[in-house]
Chains A and B, each alone.
Chain A
Amino acid sequence: MTASGWPILILALFALAGPAAAQEPPAAPDRPLSSPEQEARAQALFSVVRCVVCQHESVADSPAGIAGDMRRLIREEIAAGATDQAVRDDLVRRYGDYVLFTPPMRAGTWLLWFGPALAVLLGAAGLLAMVRRRPVETSPLSPDEERRLADLLAAERLRPDPDASTPHDGR
């Protein structure tokens, strides 16, 4: 092959290669909306809409062909005057709840949405119970225990606590 033949072959390879998702047509070119506010709304929606054939990618990120179609659909609806909510509803009607990265709020997802708050409450209640438990009354030390305690304290003095740099520090 001549040197001049190379670029043509390479360009042909690129044309064949397509985007990372391979084997499917590349996304149609994106044409941003003329109104900057509407385009900003469209961009905000792209980042919370899932590309339905991809692995955990939003249509904003995905190079797949269907993501390009979904971007165009969203832009068209916004240009036609639909509110963000209307666009989302329409997407859910077409593709199901799966299409939104925000899970729906309904009986089946209450645990998902309120689980974290429930966990905080349960944890806090548990801690409160622990704190309010009364200390057990202890009998005075026997002479033998007093002696062992004194030994221990003497040993502690040999190893001054390196953390106790401030007077209010415990030990």
Chain B
Amino acid sequence: MIVEFGAFALILALLLSALQTGLATAGRWRRSPLLSGGAEGAAIAAALATALAFAALIFAFTTSDFSVVNVARNSHTDKPMFYKVAAAWGSHEGSLVLWCLVMTGFGAALTRARGLPFGLKASAVGVQGALCVLFLAFAVFTSNPFNRLDPAPLQGASLNPLLQDPALAVHPPLLYAGYVGFSVTFSLAVAALIEGKAFSGFWPAWGRWVRPWALASWVFLTMGITLGSFWAYYELGWGGWWFWDPVENASFLPWLAGTALLHSAVVTERRGALAGWTVFLALLAFSFSILGAFLVRSGVLTSVHAFAVDPERGMLLLAILGVASGSAFALFAWRAPQLKGGGLFSPVSREGALVLNNLFLTVAAVTVLLGTLYPLILEAATGATISVGPPYFALTFTPLMAVAFLILPAGPLLAWKRGDLKGAMQRLALAAGLAIACGFVGWLAFEPRQAFAAAGLAIGAWLILGSLAEVFERIRLFRAPLAEVGRRTRGLPLGAWGMTLAHAGLGVFVLGAVVETGFKIEAAAPLAIGGQVSAGPWAVTLDRVEIVEGPNYLAERGTVTVRPVSGDAPPRTISAERRFFPAGGQTTTEVGLDFRGLDDVYVVMGERRSTPEAAQAWTVRVYYNPWARLIFLGPALMAVGGLLSLSDRRLRLAVGRRKKALAG
């Protein structure tokens, strides 16, 4: 009964979204606050209806109602309750409902946005409703998660056990909040193309309206990608954290476009310039989100993460991409030449640096797009199959980013309109000197000595020190009396702290990525009980192996002791598992992680086998991953920086205040 109710609620949400678009269009046309108010009501109701549908789906999963196809295929009575709930978004159909929930939810939030002029808001609400119609219709007509099964099986087929993991249960909601959050910037951009050119002060205000949405989506996406990467790191048991897998790339594309959007929106807000470009990026970010959905769900890609391999649904998603993005970009091509922004500025200025940032981020996105789609296109065109993997991106993406990172710290030190490059260089001289010193020390400290790693360390240190130098400059540290420094520190807006933290977090990530990539050590050996294998400075002893029974799996759990090869760090005991899930007949690994400061000792239990020396031995793989902690800490800092900026009152209040000041 509740399941039918859920199916009904999903259809209701579709109808309400259609109503939202209709009312918003009519309201905008007739300039009727009544009609557009109705559209806003419909948007909120659509969000509630989608939430009810999602709740009904979760109910079906928690009660293991196997008469529902989706539950029967993706759940099992033995599953722990937490994963029964998470299984609701573990399949194509369920995750699509989550996608729609986030989209209608953001649509409802958009109706609460303050300070937007009538026409722009009505148009944006209408466009958001149209996007919701596309995706809800896709869910209702091709991927309905409430379809029944007769006769109902006694037991479900269970979810892919790789997905039975806390990080992965939380990863999709965060990722979707990021992906789909960009639908609001998309709607605001289309609305601006419809409404734009009305008055010259429009674009700075629009930049300010679009920024909180872009920032919130960016924060969610950053957290979602980081969590996904961390999951791949400890669940797949390969010791790596980023594989340039096409699906990883699909989530990285909107992130790159979103990051570029954040920066160019600042220029639009502060200088009224780059309006067309910012609109373009806002359209691009969400187009990349839809492209990602297509790549993951259509089966055109072979990837660890791909699910719902179904070409027919893929074609429909491609059609949605064509309709939504195609019409938006067509509108852009038509209206962009009429958008007048103050396009003139000197190259050496804050906006000049931000434009350069945009150049690099956009080319980085183009590179990732090429690397992801090229094999597909080449195979379709010529039948030749190629693989594009880490070596390609190391040769293209990495140098691009290295140059961008060299320029980055100078940007915040340049003034708007006309910057003082020499002054900025002087203020960064100390940071630059220290960064080079860091690179040199790193070159001496890490074995084997690698020029690449030394350069990477210097760049990471440069990002952190350069960001700090900018803050010190602003609060006049060491140059003004302490009282003055204190006053300036308190006076510094949260947005400035957020920017500094995000840039420094990027530096932290670079340090971790460079050291982990350059100096990780892998060792594997068949070990009998009491046997030992060492990787770098750590020796791992296999103490015992026992068989344990989990809620829906059986595991061979190896308990190992990690000791330093030399030195007096305390030994620590950790366990790693190899789990067998009878329901799906799959085996997964549960990595044993020993956190040693910034380093990880990463232990993977392999298969049991016999060696000439011992009848029973287990292949134990050990990775020593130096500074791996920083790889995930860096993006976490970036997300916190984004949250700080988001909570800056200026983002929310200044528009209203400026208007009031103008009126008064």
Which of B356, B363, B389, B417 has a CB less than 8 Å from the CB of A116? B363
A124, CB-defined interface residue at 8 Å: yes
The answer, yes or no, to whether A158 is at the interface (CB within 8 Å) is yes
* Chain A residues within an 8 Å CB radius of B416: 169-171
Q: Mark B592-612, 1 if CB is under 8 A from A, else 0.
A: 000000000000000111000
Given A17-B587, A119-B366, A155-B661, also A103-B396 (CB < 8 A): no
Identify which of residues 605-664 in chain B touch chain A, using a CB-to-CB cut-off of 8 Å. Answer: 607-609, 619, 650, 654, 657-658, 661-662, 664
Contacts of A116 in B (CB 8 A): 363, 366-367, 370, 396-397, 400
Interface check A3, CB cutoff 8 A:
no
Judging by beta carbons under 8 Å apart, are A123 and B363 in contact?
yes
Shortest beta-carbon distance from B582 to chain A in Å: 7
Asked whether, in the complex, the Cβ of B363 is within 8 Å of the Cβ of A119, the reply is yes
Bound Cα distance from A20 to B346, whole angstroms: 58
| Nearest chain A CB to B657 CB, angstrom units | 6
- Among listed B1-9, B54-62, B378-386, interface-contacting one: B378-386
Q: Is B117 an interface residue (CB 8 A)?
A: no
B371 contacts A by Cβ under 8 Å = yes
Q: Which residue of A lies closest to B617 (CB)?
A: A29
For the complex, is B392 an interface residue (Cβ under 8 Å from A)? yes
Kindly specify which of A49-57, A73-81, A139-147 makes contact with the partner chain.
A49-57
On whether the beta carbons of A13 and B370 are closer than 8 Å, the reply is no
- Chain B residues within 8 Å of A158, by CB: 661
CA distance A116 to B374 in the complex (A): 13
- Tell whether, in the assembled complex, residue B547 and residue A101 are in contact, meaning their CB atoms are under 8 Å apart: no
Residues B556 and A165 in contact, CB atoms below 8 Å apart:
no
CB contacts under 8 Å to A, within B412-446, are 415-420, 423
Chain A minimum-CB-distance residue to B661? A155
Shortest distance between the CB of A101 and any CB in chain B (Å): 3
Determine how close the nearest CB of chain B comes to the CB of A122; give it in whole angstroms.
Answer: 9
CB-based contact A50/B522 at 8 Å: no
Q: Known: A108-B382, A115-B367. Contact between A13 and B389, CB under 8 A?
A: no
State which of A20, A26, A112, A123 has its C-beta within 8 Å of the C-beta of B370.
A112
Q: Assess whether B387 is in contact with A50, with CB atoms less than 8 Å apart.
A: yes
B387 x A169 contact (CB < 8 A): no
| Contact yes or no, B415 A169, CB < 8 A | yes
Contacts of B352 in A (CB 8 A): 131
B306 within 8 A of A: yes
Q: How many residues of B are counted as interface, with CB atoms below 8 angstroms from the partner's CB atoms?
A: 81
Whether A133 and B384, one on each chain, are in contact in the complex, defined by CB atoms closer than 8 angstroms, is no
Docked-complex contact B370 and A111, CB < 8 angstroms: yes
- Chain B positions 295 through 326: 1 when the CB is less than 8 Å from some CB of chain A, otherwise 0: 00000001110100000000000000000000
Cβ of B33 within 8 Å of any chain A Cβ, yes or no, is no
Question: With an 8 A cutoff between CB atoms, is A130 at the interface?
Answer: yes
Provide the bound-state CA to CA distance between A74 and B238, in Å.
20
- Least Cβ–Cβ distance between B584 and chain A, in angstroms: 9
Q: Is A24's beta carbon under 8 Å from chain B?
A: no
**Cβ contact within 8 Å between B392 and A159:** no
Q: Say yes or no: B378 contacts A18, CB within 8 Å.
A: no
Contacts of B366 in A (CB 8 A): 115-116, 119
- Contact pick for A104, options B356, B386, B658, CB 8 Å: B386
Instruction: For chain B, residues 239 to 298, give those with C-beta under 8 angstroms from any C-beta of chain A.
Output: 240, 243, 245-246
Query: Is B524 in the interface zone, CB < 8 Å from A?
Result: yes
Whether B415 and A120, one on each chain, are in contact in the complex, defined by CB atoms closer than 8 angstroms, is: no
Tell me the smallest distance from the CB of B343 to a CB of chain A, in Å.
7
Chain B residues, Cβ within 8 Å of A104: 386
Q: Any chain B CB within 8 A of the CB of A66?
A: no
Name B664's closest neighbour in chain A (CB-CB): A155
A22 CB within 8 Å of chain B: yes
Give chain A interface residues in 19-55, CB to chain B under 8 Å. 19-20, 22, 26, 29-30, 32, 43, 47-48, 50, 55
| Option from A18, A22, A168 in Cβ contact (under 8 Å) with B423 | A168
B662/A165 in contact, CB under 8 A: no
Question: Residue-by-residue, is A77-100 near B (CB-CB < 8 Å gives 1, otherwise 0)?
Answer: 000000000000000000011111
Residue contact A30 to B388, C-beta cutoff 8 Å: no
Q: A162 to chain B: which residues have CB within 8 Å? A: 491, 493, 650
Q: In whole Å, how far is A12's beta carbon from the nearest beta carbon of chain B?
A: 11
Number of interface residues of A (CB under 8 A): 64
Give the complex CA separation of A104 and B375 in angstroms.
11
Contact yes or no, B371 A112, CB < 8 A: yes
User: B346 — which chain A residues lie within 8 A by C-beta?
Assistant: 131
A10 close to chain B: CB less than 8 A: yes
Question: Chain A's nearest CB lies how many Å from the CB of B387?
Answer: 5
From A6, A98, A130, contact of B343 by CB (8 A):
A130
The distance in angstroms between the C-alpha atoms of A13 and B607, with both chains bound, is: 12
Q: How far is the CB of A87 from chain B (nearest CB, A)?
A: 15
B389 and A101 form a contact (CB under 8 A): yes
**Roughly how many angstroms separate A99 CA and B387 CA in the complex, as a whole number?**
7
CA distance A154 to B178 in the complex (A): 40
Contact B587 A20 (CB under 8 A): yes
The answer on a CB contact under 8 Å between A7 and B355 is no
| A96 surroundings in chain B (CB, below 8 A) | 385
B381: nearest chain-A partner, CB-CB: A108
- B359 near A: Cβ within 8 Å? yes
In the complex, chain B residues whose CB is within 8 Å of the CB of A4: none
In the bound assembly, the distance between CA atoms of A58 and B389 in angstroms comes to 9
A115 touches B370 (CB 8 A): yes
**Complex: A99 Cα to B389 Cα, angstroms:** 11
Q: Inside 8 A of B507's CB, which chain A residues have their CB?
A: none
Closest Cβ of chain B to A63, distance in Å, is 9
- Residues of B within 8 Å of A124, CB to CB, are 359
**Interchain residue pairs with CB less than 8 A apart (21):** A7-B547, A13-B580, A14-B580, A14-B587, A17-B580, A32-B524, A50-B387, A55-B302, A56-B243, A56-B245, A57-B238, A101-B392, A102-B392, A115-B367, A116-B363, A119-B363, A120-B359, A127-B347, A131-B346, A158-B661, A162-B491
B contacts, CB < 8 Å to A: 162, 236, 238, 240, 243, 245-246, 302-304, 306, 343-347, 350, 352, 355-356, 359, 362-363, 366-367, 370-371, 374-375, 378, 382, 384-392, 396-397, 400, 415-420, 423, 473-474, 488, 491-493, 496, 522, 524, 526, 547, 554, 556, 578, 580, 582, 585-588, 607-609, 619, 650, 654, 657-658, 661-662, 664
Q: A-side interface residues toward B, CB under 8 Å?
A: 6-7, 10-11, 13-14, 16-20, 22, 26, 29-30, 32, 43, 47-48, 50, 55-58, 60-61, 96-104, 108-109, 111-113, 115-116, 119-120, 123-124, 127, 130-131, 133, 135, 152, 155-156, 158-159, 162-163, 165-166, 168-171
Known: A17-B586, A97-B386, A165-B474. 11 other contacts (CB 8 A): A14-B580, A14-B608, A20-B587, A22-B587, A55-B304, A55-B306, A104-B386, A112-B371, A155-B662, A155-B664, A158-B661
